[in-house]
């Protein structure tokens, strides 16, 4: 990249429903309904949004029970702004929260998609295989 770095701003809050749904889709994550996002986003334990000129270009969240279990979800950067360190900034902010707030023994987990595992490894996350595997169940009402 040439020239000055864009003036990104990191906000310690979850994105709006519109930005959340948009960022998931443009970053290639599975779409979430507005209905689901309206219920889920207010239950965020720790949210981060990165904006450029007021527009959301990246996000990440931690959800969980605030004691025993936490999950890192929705790590996504607009493809036009990837590979500029935003993913690392988002993860660093989320892990700041963990360092400050999570009690001894808390278990922080995530499902790493593709090359994102390299990002999470930088923050101390380790594969749980072969002893364990991630498993998931998706609700379908259509």
Can residue 106 be called a binding residue for ligand COA (CB under 6 A)? no
Tokens representing 57 are 């270009």
Cα 64 to Cα 27, 114, 131, 141: the distances in Å are 23, 23, 23, 24
CA distance linking residue 29 with residue 6, whole number of Å = 24
From the list 3, 54, 103, 115, which residue makes contact with ligand COA (rule: CB under 6 A)?
A: 115
Listed ranges 35-43, 84-92, 123-131, 134-142: which one lies at the site for ligand COA (CB under 6 A): 84-92
From the list 71, 119, 123, 125, which residue makes contact with ligand COA (rule: CB under 6 A)?
A: 119
Can residue 49 be called a binding residue for ligand COA (CB under 6 A)? no
Under 8 Å between Cβ of 24 and 31: yes
17 vs 77, beta carbon nearer ligand COA:
77
CA distance linking residue 8 with residue 28, whole number of Å = 21
Listed ranges 31-39, 40-48, 106-114, 125-133: which one lies at the site for ligand COA (CB under 6 A): 106-114
From the list 14, 76, 93, 102, which residue makes contact with ligand COA (rule: CB under 6 A)?
A: 76
CA distance linking residue 60 with residue 20, whole number of Å = 10
- Taking residue 3's Cβ as centre, other Cβ atoms within 10 Å add up to 5
Please identify the residue of the shown chain whose CB is closest to the bound ligand COA.
87
Binding positions for ligand COA, rule: CB under 6 A:
27-29, 75-77, 82-88, 112-116, 118-119
């Amino acid at each position: 990249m040439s020239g000055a770095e864009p003036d990104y701003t990191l906000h310690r809050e979850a994105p709006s429903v519109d930005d959340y749904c948009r960022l998931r889709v443009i970053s290639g994550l599975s779409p979430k309904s507005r209905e689901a996002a309206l219920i889920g986003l207010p239950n965020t334990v720790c949210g981060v949004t990165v904006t450029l000129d007021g527009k959301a270009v990246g996000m990440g969240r931690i959800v969980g029970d605030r004691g025993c279990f936490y999950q890192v979800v929705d790590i996504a950067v607009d493809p036009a702004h990837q590979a500029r360190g935003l993913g690392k900034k988002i993860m660093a902010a989320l892990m700041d929260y963990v360092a400050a707030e999570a009690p001894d023994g808390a278990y922080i987990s995530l499902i790493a998609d593709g090359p994102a595992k390299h990002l999470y490894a930088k923050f101390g996350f380790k594969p749980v295989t072969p002893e364990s595997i991630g498993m998931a169940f998706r609700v379908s009402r259509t």
